[in-house]
Structure 1
Amino acid sequence: MSAPNADAAAQRIYLPNIKHNSALLTVKFLSACLAGATAGILGLQNWLGFALFIASTLVTSACIYVINCKGRPAKYVPGGLWELVNPGQDNIFSFILTWTLFFGIVHVYD
C-alpha cells in the first residue's frame, strides 16, 4: 500500500528531477534580482517595491506552473504549488540587495 508514496519519493530523488528543480530555483533567483533592479531604477520606495516583488514572484510562479510543471507541480516539486509560490528567504534578500544597489546608483543625486 505504500508503493505510490515510495514511488513519488523515488521520483523526486531521480537525478534529472533534481537538476530540473535546481534550474527552477535559478529562474526564481534571477527573477527576484531583475525585479529588484527594476524597482531600484524606477525609484520605487516602501510598499510599491515590495508589491513589484510579489507581482514578479507570482508571474514567475505562473510561468513555471504552466510551462515546466504542465499544471501538476506536485509531480515536479516536493512542496507542490506552495513551493512554487514561496519566494524563499534567499530571493527576498537578493531582491532587497539589488533594489537598494540600483536605487543608490541611479538616484544618488536626487
Structure 2
Amino acid sequence: MSSERELEISPIVQESLMQNSRTLSNLQSLTASLFGVSAGILGLESYSGFLFYIVFSLLTAVLFYVLRVAPTSIASGKAPLDTSRYFRGPYEFWAGGVMNGFAGFVLTWTLFYGLVRA
C-alpha cells in the first residue's frame, strides 16, 4: 500500500488505471483470438489446446510486463513485479486475461479446427 507522501509525489489517477486496464484487455482479447486460430490450425485437442492457451496467455502477460511495465517500475524505484501503480491489482494483470479472452479463444479454436479438419 502506498504511503500518503508517495501519493502526493506521484498520485494514482483513476482514469489512467482504467485506460491501462482497457489497453491490456484489448491486447488479451486480440491475442486470445490469435491463439485460438493457431490452436485450430495446429489441430490441438482437449487439454493440449487449453494448455496452449494458458501458456501463451501468461507469456503475453510476461512480455507486456517486460516491455511496458518493468522499465518504468525500475526507473521509479518500485519493487520488481509490482503492478499496483499501473493496474488495480496483480490478479488483474497476471491472470485476468486468461479468463477475459477464454470465450474468444474457444470460438476461434473450434472454428479453425473445423475448417482445417473438414
What is the TM-score with the length of structure 1 in the denominator?
0.80
The Cα offsets for residues 63-84 of structure 1, whole Å up to 9 and x where unpaired, read as: 121122114311111012x222
Q: Which runs of 4 or more aligned residues in structure 1 lie more than 4 Å from their structure 2 counterparts after TM superposition?
A: 4-7
1:94 and 2:104 aligned: yes
Q: Distance in 1 between matches of 2:5 and 2:110?
A: 47
Q: Which runs of 5+ in 1 are unaligned?
A: none
Contact 1:28 1:91 in 2 (8 A): yes
Identity between Structure 1 and Structure 2 (%): 30
Q: Which has the higher contact order (CA 8 A, sep 6+)?
A: 2
CA RMSD of aligned residues (A): 2.2
Give the gaps of 5 or more residues in structure 2: 71-80
Match of 1:75 in 2: 85
Matched, 1:27 2:36: no
Report the residue type matching 2:94 in the other structure: V
- Whether the aligned pair in 1 keeps the contact of 2:41 and 2:112 (CA below 8 Å) is yes
